Amino acid sequence: MIEAPGRQLVIGTALFLLCMGALLFVRLLPLSAGLTGWPGPDLGLCLTFAWVLRRPDQLAAPVIALVFLAEDVLLLRPLGLWAVLVLLGTEAARLREGRWRDQPFMVEWLRVAILIGAMMLGYRVVLLLFLMQPPPLGQVMLQLIATVTAYPLVVFVARWLIGLRRITATEAEMMRYSR
């Protein structure tokens, strides 16, 4: 029998993998008739940040790395580059989660927006350093705006559908002592 903290870890990880699989499946569907318009938000990235900032105990770093590595392979991006940047960004957010916990949502939204912007800038810089063709800057800026705009909606839907809520200070203390 799995103890309660271990069970929550397994359930949380399985839910995250299920959600990310569904988002990736929808992203791979051929929904457009060949015309590319406005870039949509990266809902998987929004969900990952929301999960890390609300339930950091349920989402391990290797799970994040493997999910985004699989996404790199399936979306034909440079292998591992976006996965490493997402891992660095989420771990930076995870380290600060305790200090961000009592802040209002607008502050969290601003900090996540800055992290996503830094990650997208880092992606472009690495592509340029290795003389690879980066995506057009206008498309990247539109995707950044769309992703940052979608973050509150993703947080709301995750709270409503999955029950993803912030841990309290008491729960954080209990997790610290149970390790």
Check: pTM over 0.75? Answer yes or no: yes
State the DSSP string of 78-104.
STTHHHHHHHHHHHHHHHHHHHHTTS-
Compute φ and ψ for 168, nearest 5 degrees: -85, 170
The yes-or-no verdict on residue 1 having pLDDT over 60 is no
According to the model, what pLDDT value does residue 84 have? 97
For 89: left if phi > 0, alpha if psi spans -120 to 50, otherwise beta; the answer is alpha
Least confident among 18-22, 69-73, 113-117, 163-167: 163-167
Q: Is residue 22 part of a domain?
A: no
Domain assignment of residue 53, yes or no: yes
Residue range of the domain that includes 143:
39-162
pLDDT at residue number 177: 60
Which whole number is the average pLDDT over 39-61?
A: 91
CA–CA distance from 174 to each of 5, 50, 178 (Å)? 10, 21, 6
**70 located within any domain:** yes
- Percent of the chain at pLDDT > 90 equals 63
Report the number of distinct structural domains present in the chain.
1
Residue 4 in any domain: the answer is no
Q: Does 28 reside within a domain?
A: no
Work out the average pLDDT over 51-67: 92
DSSP state of 110: H
User: Is position 122 within any domain?
Assistant: yes
Residue 88 resides in a domain: yes
Mean pLDDT, the chain, rounded, equals 88
Q: Is residue 82 part of a domain?
A: yes
Residue 137, pLDDT > 60, answer yes
Q: Does the pLDDT value for residue 176 go beyond 80?
A: no
